[in-house]
Structure 1
Amino acid sequence: MFPELGWIGPNKFIPIAETSSQIVELGRCILTTACVDAMAFPDNIRVSVNLSVGQMLRDDVIAMVTDILASTGFPAHRLTLEVTESVMMSEPDLAARILKGLQDLGISIALDDFGTGYSALSYLSQFDWDELKIDKTFVDNLGDDPRSLCIVESVIDLATELGMKVVAEGVETADQHEILRRSGCHIAQGYLFGRPQPVDQILLAVLKSIAKLEPGEGATGDGPPPRLRWL
């Protein structure tokens, strides 16, 4: 939040940080903050954090993540790291080795913004992804464009066959949510469920939601537990 400019979205400041080489230190601070904040949440709550191309192409990224997990005490199995197709486009062999090293720590790895790159399907064979995230551009047209629905259903079926969980990004309406649910999508995120807000408000909302659950619901129910996402 800047007094002169107001809130600055990640689509504005992240490209600046990447071109100025500040993205590595910014990414370290974001991951550390996410792990520290998430320690206050119930044990079944996971957290997702993005890794940039600049971070991924450094030799010390695995050591950095290991150090952060050790210093914060955050369990690796509760962390998901998200990377975009641009990571695989730049140095596919190096990226695959680094992602495997992170996965060996117990961290889940997600392919973010799936469908927006040039060779999206080829990336599915280059690494054993834990999650595949369908880009918002396909979700936007659900209910209006049969082609978008066909693409989304095909991606969900393919990912499920490959043993990946599917996350739909940018869900903003109940109709989109229902279509995705019927199509077999595992997880949905978007403004329908909540907008960006301070972590203390998120914690309060999560605790209130858990308090309203009937015995047997939540982590042991059919649906996945809530998930936090840091940009």
Structure 2
Amino acid sequence: MANGPKKTRVESIAGPQSPLGVAISAQDQVTMDMVREAIVTKRARLAWQPVVLARDPTRVAFHEGLIRILDHQNRVIPARDFIDAVEAHETGRQIDCLALEIGLNTLARHPGLRISINMSARSIGYPRWMRVLKRGLAASPTIGERLILEITESSAMLVPELVISFMEELQREGIAFAMDDFGSGYTAIRFFKDFCFDILKIDGQFIRNIHADPDNAALVGALMSIGRHFHMFTVAEAVETAAEAKVLQAMGVECLQGYLFGAPSLKPDFATQAPLRKAG
């Protein structure tokens, strides 16, 4: 009788029936239980990261709100521990609702602020998400024009026709849309020309070390060219060094985002200072 395939050392140690595998699965379940409870009790915050104008990095164009889920001790549960697991399930939709609700409340409190909030294309058509949006927009006539919704390239391509009609509907309310992580997915050109995104956020993998990597420079130049052709505002993500920023400024990127200009913060400057005027 032939022997079956041999297990690798890692599979033997961390397989689903091994002590380590069981421990990992148990920990994953504990994390998911904490996430679900945090959603019910609304133990969530947005960490805000500034997106600055490339021509004058002292001026903030808008702030991106990044969702943070908190445990019982108000410690952040790392997104990497749950985000992939919830993306295709209702828990992911509930997280999108929480992020939108917090963002809209922030806009209502700060009339001079412009923000972006992340959402999955899977939340399009989720009734609660739309109720949160309509309730928030009703609070002030200027909220829609100060809201940007970010959808990743890979998420947009899940249901491109639905994304296109969704954007057309909400853009009539003044809401802008950003394609997040552009370059990391597989956008079909036949859909891209119909998407009508307002902002193109170039994925950070192409930004890193751009001053010393001619391949990255060429790729960013190509992605920017697509953005310009379709009249999209371009943002370079994950800018971490002055050398990277200098090259991007010379290339003509409109906005820069990254740790060089500020880490995501639960206590942003705008929360304690006078409202920021909208960058023009």
What is the match of residue 97 of structure 1? 165
Paired residue secondary structure (1:113): strand
What is the match of residue 77 of structure 2? 8
| Inter-partner Cα distance in structure 2 for 1:14 and 1:71 | 30
| Inter-partner Cα distance in structure 1 for 2:237 and 2:257 | 5
Q: Are 1:166 and 2:226 an aligned pair? A: no
% identical aligned pairs: 29
What is the match of residue 132 of structure 1? 200
What is the match of residue 52 of structure 1? 120
Report how far residue 203 of structure 1 moved. Answer: 1.7
Please show how residues 96-115 of structure 1 align to structure 2 within 5 Å. 96-115=164-183
Please show how residues 134-213 of structure 1 align to structure 2 within 5 Å. 134-199=202-267, 201-203=268-270, 207=274
Structure 2's unaligned 5+ residue stretches are 1-69
Q: Kindly tell me: are residues 158 and 119 of structure 1, through their superposed partners in 2, closer, same or farther at Cα, counting changes over 3 Å?
A: closer
| Inter-partner Cα distance in structure 2 for 1:5 and 1:41 | 25
What is the match of residue 34 of structure 1? 103
| Inter-partner Cα distance in structure 1 for 2:188 and 2:75 | 35
| Inter-partner Cα distance in structure 2 for 1:204 and 1:117 | 35
Report how far residue 14 of structure 1 moved. Answer: 2.3
| Inter-partner Cα distance in structure 2 for 1:187 and 1:203 | 19
Report how far residue 129 of structure 1 moved. Answer: 1.2
Q: Kindly tell me: are residues 146 and 183 of structure 1, through their superposed partners in 2, closer, same or farther at Cα, counting changes over 3 Å?
A: same
Q: Kindly tell me: are residues 73 and 36 of structure 1, through their superposed partners in 2, closer, same or farther at Cα, counting changes over 3 Å?
A: farther
Report how far residue 75 of structure 1 moved. Answer: 1.2
8 A contact 1:132–1:159 mirrored in 2: yes
Q: Are 1:65 and 2:133 an aligned pair? A: yes
Letter of the structure 2 residue corresponding to residue 56 of structure 1: I
Q: Kindly tell me: are residues 5 and 122 of structure 1, through their superposed partners in 2, closer, same or farther at Cα, counting changes over 3 Å?
A: farther
Paired residue secondary structure (1:140): coil
Q: Kindly tell me: are residues 94 and 20 of structure 1, through their superposed partners in 2, closer, same or farther at Cα, counting changes over 3 Å?
A: closer
8 A contact 2:144–2:173 mirrored in 1: yes
8 A contact 1:110–1:132 mirrored in 2: yes
Report how far residue 73 of structure 1 moved. Answer: 6.6
| Inter-partner Cα distance in structure 2 for 1:60 and 1:35 | 14
Which structure dedicates a bigger proportion of its chain to helix?
Answer: 1
Report how far residue 64 of structure 1 moved. Answer: 4.1
Deviates more, 1:148-157 or 1:167-176: 148-157
**Aligned Cα RMSD in Å?**
2.7
Equivalent residue pairs, number: 211
Letter of the structure 1 residue corresponding to residue 163 of structure 2: A
| Inter-partner Cα distance in structure 2 for 1:203 and 1:84 | 26
Q: Are 1:116 and 2:184 an aligned pair? A: yes
8 A contact 2:121–2:159 mirrored in 1: no
What is the match of residue 229 of structure 1? none
Q: Kindly tell me: are residues 94 and 60 of structure 1, through their superposed partners in 2, closer, same or farther at Cα, counting changes over 3 Å?
A: farther
Which structure dedicates a bigger proportion of its chain to strand?
Answer: 2
8 A contact 1:83–1:111 mirrored in 2: yes
| Inter-partner Cα distance in structure 1 for 2:201 and 2:106 | 24
Report how far residue 121 of structure 1 moved. Answer: 4.2
Paired residue secondary structure (1:36): helix
8 A contact 2:121–2:163 mirrored in 1: no
8 A contact 1:53–1:86 mirrored in 2: no
Paired residue secondary structure (2:227): helix
Q: Which has the larger radius of gyration?
A: 2
Give me the TM-score of the superposition, normalised by structure 1.
Answer: 0.79
| Inter-partner Cα distance in structure 2 for 1:40 and 1:64 | 16
